[in-house]
Structure 1
Amino acid sequence: MTSPPPPRSRSSDAQSGSATLVALRGIDKTFANGTLALSGLDLDIRENEFVSLLGPSGCGKSTALRILAGLIPASRGDVAWTGGGSAEDHRGEIGFVFQEPTLMPWATVADNVFLPLRLRGVSRRDAADAIASSLDLVGLSRFAHAYPRELSGGMKMRVSIARALSLRPRILLMDEPFAALDEITRFKLNDDLLRLQREFGCTVVFVTHSVYESVYLSTRIVVMAARPGRIVAEIPVAAPTPRSEAFRTTPLYGTLCREASAALHEAMGPADDTDPAHADH
């Protein structure tokens, strides 16, 4: 049987510096109903950075993430991976966390984490260490034999993150994973995510609607506008790491939040009262 991949070396990450890991080049996406979701999207994702895709609903953030993951094809353009190949060729290097935990309700926490390893042909015995270490990373070792119905919303999301980490991905793609959680849980998971990135050593691409979350988490914020989806601003977040709750009270945090908020406001454009999207119903 295939064995799970070993943990990645942080020393090799440090040596890679800011080298591009994957790039979107001239990406267009038109859906079957004629909706132009993305147009001319160019985006480089570099080693070990934390990139937030920030923008209003309908701007194509999630679509761009799914194209990066190889879950849907682009209508035009290229996804260029360092070393060549497609997303399918790099499947073992990609972890994906959806907005909902999407756990199997009939399976234990450990078996939910085991799923991507099982799909790659890893036996349960050979996967045991990877499952245990993934649960330890998210602080759920004691809940390995629990079922999703016995967990809080935040704990379910931790299981989803552990499942994505089980293959030791090089890039972690996250589609608004904390949007449905209360503020206290969300702040706690923000801190946990930054810790995981430091300990695990991977690139993160994170979709969010929240200016405050994007500034707190990111090394770079990519602001997108809709109709069609496109990048309108990139904001580097030159704040020291590791970050703590104290960062939220600094002048730099406030300045970056105002800059991101202004870029987002410009991306959304003026409200059009004749547009159904702005109707009360």
Structure 2
Amino acid sequence: MSVLATLRGISKTFANGTLAVDGLDLDIADGEFLTFLGPSGCGKSTALRMLAGLMPPTSGTIGWTGGARPQVGFVFQEPTLMPWASVFDNVWLPLRLRHIPRRDAARSIDEALDLVGLGAFAKVYPRELSGGMKMRVSIARALVTRPPLLLLDEPFAALDEITRFKLNDDLLALKTELGTTVGFVTHSVFESVYLSTRIAVFSPRPGRIVAGIDIPEPLPRNEEFRLSAVYADHCRIVSAALHKAMNAPQQQTVAQ
């Protein structure tokens, strides 16, 4: 695989002096499913947002093949839907911000909704949807521009296990169909192994990548993989790496 992005020496210090991420070095391959795994507050989401261009690093550089950041679709922890707008109009938002008329955007919106299995819900309002369906709308909104890079910040953390498993399957199917590069944040070892082609394990704050673990199993995956000895072996390896990271000597977390 060719390299899509190169992060070198990335650090982020917030206004209150908190050093969230420090010395982050990472190459992201075009077409991979890369997961940031670590405990809450370790800088995973901060790293993802810097990658998306939602906040600048304090130091370090992010380089892109071709010289410029590609178009990015971003899915937040909460669906962040507009309650007064229909599903169709919520998905229209990124195209509307590009001044694409509703009529001209209709085909792209319908295709995005079909991709997430919500083609029949275009006229429905968010209050009429379940939590899982709202997250599907959020994913459709991120995909409506067909971005080459899709970033998701713990999108399934608040969902029940059955819904979460189903959306994991759907996300893998979408990634396989579209060939999109995916960056994903989670604190679940089991979710990271099921979804990823590679896992970057973060230390507690300040976030550093302390292990990179490949999951060289074919995509998409299914319940057979989830119940397999191969899956269990990968989970043990990743869990051990996370345990080691959690028990490493802590670094100073406030910039002086």
Mark yes or no: TM-score above 0.5: yes
Tell me what 1:268 maps to: 246
Task: Work out the CA distance in 2 between the residues paired with 1:152 and 1:271.
Answer: 43
* Counterpart residue type for residue 204 of structure 1: V
Q: Is residue 51 of structure 2 the alignment partner of residue 51 of structure 1? A: no
Task: Work out the CA distance in 1 between the residues paired with 2:178 and 2:24.
Answer: 29
Tell me if the contact between 2:43 and 2:205 (Cα under 8 Å) persists in the aligned partners: no
1:217-272: CA deviations, max 9, x gaps?
00001100123110000110011233111001111111110011111111111799
Task: Work out the CA distance in 2 between the residues paired with 1:225 and 1:242.
Answer: 29
Alignment length, in residue pairs?
250
Aligned mate of 2:145, from 167, 180, 197: 167
Task: Work out the CA distance in 1 between the residues paired with 2:243 and 2:221.
Answer: 26
Which consecutive aligned stretches of 4+ in structure 1 deviate over 3 angstroms post-superposition? none
* Counterpart residue type for residue 131 of structure 2: G
1:51-102: CA deviations, max 9, x gaps?
01000011110000000010000000011011113x4xx3xx2000000000
| Alpha-carbon offset, residue 182 of structure 1 | 0.2
Q: Is residue 131 of structure 2 the alignment partner of residue 153 of structure 1? A: yes
* Counterpart residue type for residue 268 of structure 1: M
Aligned mate of 1:79, from 62, 81, 85: 62
Unpaired stretches in structure 2, ≥5 consecutive residues? 251-256
3-state SS of 1:28 partner:
strand
Task: Work out the CA distance in 2 between the residues paired with 1:230 and 1:60.
Answer: 8
Aligned mate of 1:215, from 179, 193, 201: 193
Tell me what 1:32 maps to: 15
Tell me what 2:253 maps to: none
Task: Work out the CA distance in 1 between the residues paired with 2:249 and 2:2.
Answer: 40
Q: Is residue 7 of structure 2 the alignment partner of residue 21 of structure 1? A: no
Compute the TM-score of the two structures, normalised by the length of structure 1.
0.87
Tell me if the contact between 2:176 and 2:219 (Cα under 8 Å) persists in the aligned partners: no
* Counterpart residue type for residue 245 of structure 1: E
3-state SS of 2:78 partner:
coil
Change (3 A) 1:149 1:271: farther
- State, as a whole percentage, how many aligned pairs show the same letter: 68
Q: Is residue 169 of structure 2 the alignment partner of residue 191 of structure 1? A: yes
Task: Work out the CA distance in 1 between the residues paired with 2:81 and 2:26.
Answer: 31
* Counterpart residue type for residue 97 of structure 1: V
Task: Work out the CA distance in 2 between the residues paired with 1:83 and 1:129.
Answer: 29
Task: Work out the CA distance in 1 between the residues paired with 2:145 and 2:157.
Answer: 25
Task: Work out the CA distance in 1 between the residues paired with 2:25 and 2:249.
Answer: 27
Cα RMSD (Å)? 1.3
Change (3 A) 1:47 1:270: closer
1:150-200: CA deviations, max 9, x gaps?
000000000000000001000100000000000000000000000001111
Change (3 A) 1:230 1:271: closer
Aligned mate of 1:252, from 223, 230, 249: 230
Tell me if the contact between 2:172 and 2:219 (Cα under 8 Å) persists in the aligned partners: no
